[in-house]
Amino acid sequence: MKITTDIDIDLADRSIVLEKLKHRIGRINRKDGKYEKHNTGVYFQDIPLDPLTNIVTIDHKDADELGYFKVDLLNVHLYKDIKNEAHLQTLVDKEPQWALLEHEEIVEQLFHINKYFKLCEQYKPSSLEDLAAILAIIRPGKAYLQGKDWDVINKEVWIKPTDGTYHFKRSHSVAYSMMICVQLNLLTENAAKE
């Protein structure tokens, strides 16, 4: 059995890291026979590459099968407002004001859910787990759960779709939910300074 790894690293500005490390840009083969660079995926190992573009010559899925290790470096701009590790820990430890998710002008500023105010309004998430479920049901593999009650959602949301439809694993949803909580706490902190 082949084990694949999915490593995502969130950064305030990935270009700062990439300037300092030798890397090769991932590749995505398109159905029309052409290819494009992977938006976030890079390799820090020797993998065949086109020296003119610095893009690898193997599609990222095939590269995984061949044992190459892609790392996704993601720009998460909310980190630009975090002063240091202690500040981040304070924002993580603080319970967010969940009622803020009932205000469209707040939700529109938030990572991943900025276009889903109606779902926040309908479900009124009041915990990290609630928010993770909301993030999961906005993905195609679980969109059929929109409009269902919490009991149905909680029963089905983390079951992997059998048809291969794109979905969020629980671990991704919880991690992104934590980021949204940090962002809510940052908004509250910044509003208190004004």
Is the same domain home to 121 and 88?
yes
Is the same domain home to 67 and 83?
no
Is the same domain home to 70 and 117?
no
Hey, what are 94's tokens?
A: 């603080």
Is the same domain home to 106 and 84?
yes
Shortest CA distance to 124 belongs to which of 149, 98, 143, 142?
98
Is the same domain home to 117 and 148?
yes
pLDDT in tens, 119-160: 999 999 999 999 999 999 999 999 999 999 999 999 999 999
| Residue where one domain finishes, among candidates 53, 75, 97 | 75
Q: What is the pLDDT of residue 190?
A: 87
Q: What is the CA radius of gyration of the chain?
A: 19
Beta pairing partners, 28 = 36
Beta pairing partners, 41 = 72
Is the same domain home to 66 and 82?
no
| Residue where one domain finishes, among candidates 55, 75, 95 | 75
Tell me if 2 is assigned to some domain: no
Q: State how far the Cα of 141 lies from the Cα of 167, in Å rounded to an integer.
A: 5
Ranges of residues in the chain whose predicted pLDDT is under 50: 1
Tell me if 145 is assigned to some domain: yes
Is the same domain home to 97 and 58?
no
Q: State how far the Cα of 85 lies from the Cα of 12, in Å rounded to an integer.
A: 13
SS3 20: helix
Tell me if 88 is assigned to some domain: yes
Is the same domain home to 39 and 127?
no
Pairing of strands 35-43, 49-50: unpaired
CB 137 within 8 A of CB 113: no
pTM (2 d.p.) = 0.75
Q: What is the pLDDT of residue 5?
A: 66
Is the same domain home to 69 and 85?
no
| Residue where one domain finishes, among candidates 75, 91, 118 | 75
Q: State how far the Cα of 182 lies from the Cα of 175, in Å rounded to an integer.
A: 11
Classify residue 34 by burial, with Cβ atoms within 10 Å: 0-12, 13-18, 19+.
exposed
Domain residues for the domain of 39 are 7-75
Q: What is the pLDDT of residue 164?
A: 83
Q: What is the pLDDT of residue 11?
A: 86
Is the same domain home to 40 and 131?
no
Domain count, the chain: 2
Is the same domain home to 58 and 116?
no
Tell me if 26 is assigned to some domain: yes
Is the same domain home to 169 and 138?
yes
